Amino acid sequence: MDPLALGLGFGPIAIYLFAIGLLNLRRYPVVLTGWQDTAYLLLAFVGLVVIGPINLFFPLPAYIRFGPWVWLLLLALLGLVIISINLWMRPRIVLYNIPYSELKPVLSEVALDLDPNARWAGECLVLPTIGVQLFLDYSPLLRNARLVAVGRRQDFQSWNQLEAALRKALEKTEVGRNWTGLAFLVPGLLLVTVAALAVLTSPEQVADSLERLFLR
């Protein structure tokens, strides 16, 4: 297989898996906005998109007119797609490596600070005064949680306040390491090793592939 394709295809995925593994092995919870979590996931597959669909359906007329600069246009298009997907999705907050027993009391306390009328209905939390309704989606195996908006009438500024308050409340909360993170860390290390060896052991083939890819 083409070493450049291996590097571009599996390198970003390896980095993503490695990062997720490290987040789960930390002794402190990590809070991400929904757009950050989705953007990181989509960026992990950018390499596969470059060597796959973009390479297969490469716009030759645009390349004839703009030359190698067409790659900047294509990457800008990918960026717009990622932004569009995030805008289409409902507001959400993602929390890594936090036990359910630690999360729910903190979330309840933060919600009451933001809205004294906040109340739970099963796994749904409603903050009627500030316009936030969410569902707590928890994964016991990974010890990760998603706070996902329920309904279309949401106050985005209030979601930002909730995310900031949760981050502040959890910044000094120490938890045990989640060793399930090794299930992401080890494959990430293997993939990055394979990709790096493929690129480093065949520099001439990589140079030829780069020339074919960017200087058609």
pLDDT score of 216 more than 60:
no
CATH number of the domain bearing residue 120: 3.30.310.80
Q: In one letter, which amino acid is 131?
A: G
The pLDDT of residue 214: 61
On whether the CB atoms of residues 93 and 34 are closer than 8 A, the answer is yes
Name all contacts of 128-132 with Cβ < 8 Å and 24+ positions apart. 130/155, 130/158, 130/161, 131/155, 131/158, 132/158, 132/159, 132/162
Using one digit for the tens of pLDDT, what is the confidence trace for 174-187?
888 888 889 999 99
Name the residue range of residue 10's domain. Answer: 1-89+177-216
Residues 7 and 63 in one domain: yes
The pLDDT of residue 154: 86
Using one digit for the tens of pLDDT, what is the confidence trace for 125-144?
999 999 999 999 999 888 99
Banded pLDDT at 108 (limits 50, 70, 90): very high
- The alpha carbon of 111 is separated from its chain's Cα centroid by a whole number of angstroms, namely 25
- The alpha carbon of 207 is separated from its chain's Cα centroid by a whole number of angstroms, namely 31
Residues 182 and 85 in one domain: yes
Q: In what order do the strands lie in the sheet with 124-127?
A: 30-33, 92-96, 144-149, 132-139, 124-127, 119-121
Residues 128 and 159 in one domain: yes
The pLDDT of residue 159: 93
* Residues forming beta bridges with residue 149, ordered by sequence position: 134
* Residues forming beta bridges with residue 92, ordered by sequence position: 148
The pLDDT of residue 129: 93
The rounded percent of the chain whose pLDDT value lies above 90 is: 38
Q: How far is residue 64's CA from residue 70's CA, in Å, rounded to a whole number?
A: 9
The pLDDT of residue 130: 92
Q: How many domains does the chain have?
A: 2
Indicate the residue among 175, 190, 207 that finishes a domain.
Answer: 175
**Rg (Cα) of the chain, in Å, rounded?**
21
Residues 190 and 125 in one domain: no
Banded pLDDT at 82 (limits 50, 70, 90): confident
Q: How far is residue 191's CA from residue 184's CA, in Å, rounded to a whole number?
A: 11
Residues 102 and 85 in one domain: no
Mean pLDDT of 148-169: 90
The pLDDT of residue 199: 78
